[in-house]
């Protein structure tokens, strides 16, 4: 459910959960039903020359990072670890706000170097060599490619890789072979080795077969990964049957082996790579130690993997603590008056309380949240729940409020979803308002997005004519929504209805019913072809010439134009129910 109390509470509120139970393997009423499970982690030491090359690459990585810091694109303190997802988000920012091209190239080069270092440190020389070779052979190199390949330290790493004797492997493979032998996997016991990369799975399989003689098989997903073909469902089923019958002693699996499949219990689970996800850690570990004693071994090479492992263990403990706290909180809530009871009591004591002065229409998806709870506590507010076309709260026939927490706003920043949503608000209501909830103005969100990016976003929305209100918490948000409703309804009867739209907006809405076509693409199509008739008469090739229309969207438009009434359209959606 998540490792923080806030995330778990969000699920509890959205699903209207009335009772929460938290259990672990150590819980008294669970312990007697599960077998002993031992978890060990082994630090695999890298050779000196290996470590020296990685130190050189880290120096190159730090230099690129310094250039981003100088440009004010990222803020980190000494010792801070920059995660890959932070870099990916930063790249989306620089593209979204059209920062200088060199800044975007710097971020892209950092991402590539990050990936290369990770392959070398955790997977071995061969995967790292193949990746860099792919960049070297790429036609039409990008600026980020050149930044990477022109660095003397990266070239030094390349020359070192070329100088290694054929068959040089990562030290983890030697450690893994030793574990397989010691734990008796070749002598009647069974195990699973989990890897993060499909190509590594092949290397691990071949090495173990050669060095230990273990009867092993790959177990991978269906999708094709570059030159590696996936497994069909029938092939997967056959391998599991053979594993159950004893034909194989060991499976070398990617994430496909984590959940949802009937994999027999095993004696040993090995994490060839540490995983940063607590859910994946629990799922992989859960393949052993159920009906009979089991053992889990996590191989760790380098500071990054050790950081992942320690973080995952800490997150699991934090999650269990949060679950127990939420369980207590939900139990306390049950003793307090519910929204339904509040409404009933309000009606029964109508003679003692004055009648509701204002009506606020609330989107059904907001139910269970703290804002609605606070609104329901006001004597002068009546809540009307319905599925709104756009927005979260409607306080008059002209005013709709879209409420976003700072993290909601950030998550919609990379794909520009917020701009599309604002466009719909303006098309439907005369006076839309954006309400942003955060403790500190322009605070850096949990996702690490810069304050400057938030300022640029707010500036763009404001210049575009959207009023913006701020609150520090759900209670303040509810108070603001209530005050807006009072201002709007005090001198007039509330009649909530969408703004009458012009013909151009109607044409845009027809096109936005097609999956993959948002308001901006719809406008580009209508500007290019002039009418719906011309859009629907165009070929896929002609449609693709319009900005924002990729081959898949073009194909969907053609399919939509030829669709017969009553026929289901693939991937259909209803933006305007």
- The token duo for 370 is 């703290």
Homologous superfamily (CATH) of 169-300 is P-loop containing nucleotide triphosphate hydrolases (3.40.50.300)
Alpha-carbon span 509 to 72, nearest angstrom: 40
Of the candidates 304, 316, 250, the one whose C-alpha atom is nearest the C-alpha of residue 280 is 316
Which residues in the chain are classed under CATH 1.20.1320.20?
48-163
**H or E element: which one contains 394?**
strand 393-394
Print burial letters for 2-14: b (CB count within 10 Å at least 16), e (below 16): bbebeebbeebbe
Four-CA torsion 60, 61, 66, 68, nearest 10 degrees? 130
Q: What's the gap between Cα 563 and its chain centre?
A: 34
pLDDT of residue 482: 92
Q: What is the pLDDT along the chain (577 residues), one digit of tens a residue?
A: 666 788 888 888 888 888 888 888 888 888 888 888 899 999 999 999 999 999 999 999 989 888 888 877 776 655 456 777 778 877 777 665 555 678 888 888 999 999 999 999 999 999 999 999 999 888 888 888 999 999 999 999 999 999 999 889 999 999 999 999 999 898 889 999 999 988 899 999 999 999 999 999 999 887 776 567 888 889 988 999 999 888 999 999 998 887 766 677 889 999 999 988 888 888 898 888 888 889 999 999 988 888 888 988 888 888 888 888 888 888 776 665 555 555 555 555 554 445 457 899 998 888 778 898 889 888 888 888 887 878 899 998 889 999 988 777 777 766 567 888 888 888 888 899 999 988 766 555 455 556 777 787 888 888 888 999 989 889 999 999 999 999 888 755 444 444 455 678 788 888 888 877 877 788 888 988 999 999 899 999 999 898 878 888 888 889 888 888 766 555 444 333 3
pLDDT of residue 344: 58
Alpha-carbon span 227 to 172, nearest angstrom: 24
Alpha-carbon span 116 to 549, nearest angstrom: 33
pLDDT of residue 483: 92
DSSP string, 82-150: --HHHHHHHHHHHHHTT--HHHHHHHHHHHHHHHHHHIIIII-HHHHHHHHHHHHH-SS--HHHHHHHT
Print burial letters for 95-125: b (CB count within 10 Å at least 16), e (below 16): bbeebeeebbbbbbbbbbbbebbbbbbbbbb
pLDDT of residue 225: 65
Alpha-carbon span 124 to 169, nearest angstrom: 6
**How far lies 297's CA from each of 42, 46, 270, 272, 356, in Å?**
7, 18, 5, 9, 63
- The token duo for 409 is 């706003």
pLDDT of residue 566: 67
Q: Which architecture, in CATH terms, is 48-163?
A: Up-down Bundle (1.20)
CB 520 within 8 A of CB 420: yes
* Domain boundaries 339-489, corresponding CATH code: 3.40.50.10130
pLDDT of residue 575: 33
pLDDT of residue 215: 94
DSSP strands (E only) in 190-273: 191-194, 216-219, 250-253, 268-271
Q: Is the dihedral of CA 214, 220, 226, 232 positive or negative?
A: positive
Report the interhelical angle of 302-334 vs 278-285 (nearest 10°): 90
Alpha-carbon span 115 to 62, nearest angstrom: 14
Alpha-carbon span 159 to 157, nearest angstrom: 6
Q: What phi and psi, each to the nearest 5 degrees, are found at residue 112?
A: -65, -40
- Strand partners of residue 468: 434
DSSP string, 341-367: HHHHHHHHTTTTSPPP-EEEEEEGGGT
Tell me the pairing of strands 37-43 and 216-219.
Answer: unpaired
- The token duo for 1 is 């459910």
Top CATH class of 503-561 equals mainly alpha
Which residues in the chain are classed under CATH 3.40.50.300?
169-300
């Amino acid at each position: 459910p998540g490792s923080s109390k806030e995330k778990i509470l969000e699920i509890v509120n959205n699903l209207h959960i009335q009772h929460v139970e938290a259990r672990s393997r150590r819980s008294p009423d669970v312990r007697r039903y599960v077998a002993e499970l031992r978890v060990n982690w082994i630090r695999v030491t890298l050779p000196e020359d290996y470590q020296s090359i990685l130190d050189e690459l880290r120096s190159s990585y730090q230099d690129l990072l310094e250039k981003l810091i100088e440009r004010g694109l990222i803020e980190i303190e000494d010792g801070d670890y920059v995660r890959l997802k932070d870099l990916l988000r930063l790249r989306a920012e620089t593209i979204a706000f059209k920062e200088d091209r060199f800044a975007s190239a710097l971020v892209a080069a950092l991402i590539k170097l990050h990936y290369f270092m990770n392959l070398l440190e955790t997977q071995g020389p061969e995967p790292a060599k193949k990746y860099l070779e792919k960049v070297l052979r790429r036609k039409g190199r990008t600026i980020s490619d050149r930044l990477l390949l022109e660095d003397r330290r990266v070239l030094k790493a390349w020359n070192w890789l070329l100088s290694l004797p054929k068959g040089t492997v990562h030290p983890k493979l030697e450690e893994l072979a030793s574990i397989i032998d010691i734990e008796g996997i070749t002598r009647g016991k069974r195990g699973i080795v989990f890897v993060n990369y499909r190509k590594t799975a092949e290397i691990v399989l071949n090495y173990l077969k050669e060095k230990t003689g273990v009867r092993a098989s790959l177990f991978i997903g269906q999708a094709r990964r570059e030159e590696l073909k996936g497994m069909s469902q029938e092939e997967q089923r056959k391998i599991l049957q053979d594993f159950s019958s004893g034909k194989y002693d060991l499976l070398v699996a990617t994430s496909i082996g984590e959940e949802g499949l009937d994999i027999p219990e095993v004696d040993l689970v090995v994490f060839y790579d540490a995983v940063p996800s607590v859910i994946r850690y629990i799922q992989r570990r859960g393949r052993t130690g159920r009906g009979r004693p089991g053992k889990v071994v996590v191989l760790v090479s380098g500071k990054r993997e050790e950081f992942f492992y320690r973080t995952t263990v800490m997150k699991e403990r934090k999650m269990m603590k949060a679950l127990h706290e939420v369980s207590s909180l939900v139990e306390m809530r049950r003793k307090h008056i519910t929204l339904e009871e509040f409404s009933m009591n309000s009606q029964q004591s109508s003679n003692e309380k004055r009648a509701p002065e204002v009506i606020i229409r609330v989107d059904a998806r907001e139910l269970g949240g703290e804002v609605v709870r606070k609104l329901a506590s006001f004597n002068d507010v009546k809540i009307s729940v319905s599925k709104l076309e756009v927005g979260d709260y409607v306080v008059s026939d002209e005013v709709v409020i879209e409420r976003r927490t700072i993290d909601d706003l950030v998550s919609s920043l990379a794909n520009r979803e917020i701009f599309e949503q604002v466009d719909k608000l303006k098309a439907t209501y005369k006076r839309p308002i954006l309400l942003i909830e955060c403790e500190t103005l322009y605070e850096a969100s949990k996702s690490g997005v810069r304050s400057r990016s938030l300022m640029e976003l707010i500036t763009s929305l404001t210049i575009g004519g959207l009023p913006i209100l701020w609150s520090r918490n759900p209670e303040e948000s509810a108070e603001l929504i209530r005050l807006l409703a009072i201002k709007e309804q005090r001198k007039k009867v509330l009649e909530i209805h969408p703004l009458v739209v012009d013909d151009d907006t109607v044409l845009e809405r027809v096109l936005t019913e097609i999956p993959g076509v948002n308001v901006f693409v719809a406008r580009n199509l209508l500007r290019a072809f002039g009418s719906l008739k011309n859009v629907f008469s165009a070929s896929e090739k002609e449609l693709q010439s319009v900005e924002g229309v990729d081959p898949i969207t073009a194909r969907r438009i053609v399919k939509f134009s030829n669709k017969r009434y009553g026929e289901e359209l693939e991937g259909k959606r209803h933006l305007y129910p």
